[in-house]
């Protein structure tokens, strides 16, 4: 099955990525992507942009070199209460919001605490995707989190970087268990490059291989159909 969109891409505005928005869009076109989301890190990540950057996405054309652009952000969870590094007064202006664990913003607090953080974050109506949930640094109670994703309409990410064989951010067995449970409960998933350089945009081979191994139903992977992806976003939470 062909993937036509990439929902997790960083630019130089993240502070530790190395390509511009236009370079990423051109790479996406070469990779056969019809849509990408620009999801720079939130302001608590050292070197990343402040809130004004995210409010000014209106300056970016909807299409760049023929590729549709979604205005997004990858936020960091800050604690087990569901606090994030941008407020809803900013998030309501964006097309796509990802929330993830990042060591520079939240120290590990154990499986119970990580589970609370995830469940509370999923309750935020603007958070549509939970990013790279395969990191053994942040264990959580899989059944509780997947059921919360189902109840809240939150999408679970297949992060290509984390799912690379040998990645230090991959607990393989826990990830397989999570994705298989997502499949069983019909939780939507999306593959994403998490590219920090334009050569990685649209590169989703590790995510595809993991999805195949987990036996995920094609209709649950939103990358394969642009209209279905947009319809799921439009439904809201």
Q: Which helix (H) or strand (E) holds 189?
A: strand 189-192
pLDDT at 166: 87
Chain mean pLDDT for the chain: 97
pLDDT at 197: 98
Report pLDDT digits (tens) over 21-42: 999 999 999 999 999 999 999 9
Structure tokens at 169: 């951010």
Residue 237 predicted with pLDDT over 90: no
Superfamily of domain 5-235: Metal-dependent hydrolases (3.20.20.140)
Average pLDDT of span 100-116: 97
Return the closest-CA partner of residue 22 out of 41, 9, 8: 9
For the chain, domain boundaries? 5-235
Report pLDDT digits (tens) over 53-64: 999 999 999 999
Cα torsion angle, 118, 120, 123, 124, sign? negative
d(CA 200, CA 196): 7
CA 195 to chain centre: 11
């Amino acid at each position: 099955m062909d993937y036509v969109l990439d929902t997790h891409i960083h630019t130089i505005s993240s502070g530790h990525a190395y390509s511009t928005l236009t370079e990423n869009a051109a790479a996406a076109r070469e990779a056969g992507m019809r849509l990408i989301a620009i999801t720079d890190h939130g302001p608590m990540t050292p070197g990343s942009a402040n809130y004004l950057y995210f409010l000014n996405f209106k300056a970016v054309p909807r299409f760049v070199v023929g590729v549709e652009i979604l205005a997004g952000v990858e936020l960091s969870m800050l604690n087990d209460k569901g606090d994030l590094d941008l407020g809803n007064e900013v998030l309501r202006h964006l097309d796509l919001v990802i929330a993830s664990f990042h060591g520079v913003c939240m120290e590990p607090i154990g499986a119970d605490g990580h589970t609370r953080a995830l469940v509370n974050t999923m309750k935020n109506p603007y958070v549509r995707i939970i990013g790279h949930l395969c990191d053994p640094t942040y264990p959580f109670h899989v059944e509780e989190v997947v059921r919360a994703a189902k109840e809240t309409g939150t999408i679970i990410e297949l992060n290509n970087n984390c799912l690379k064989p040998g990645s230090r951010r991959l607990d393989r067995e826990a990830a397989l268990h999570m994705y298989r449970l997502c499949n069983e409960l019909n939780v939507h998933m999306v593959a994403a490059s998490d590219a920090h350089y334009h050569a990685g945009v649209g590169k989703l081979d590790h995510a595809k291989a993991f999805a195949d191994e987990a036996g995920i139903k094609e209709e649950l992977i939103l990358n394969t159909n642009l209209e279905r992806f947009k319809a799921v976003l439009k439904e809201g939470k």
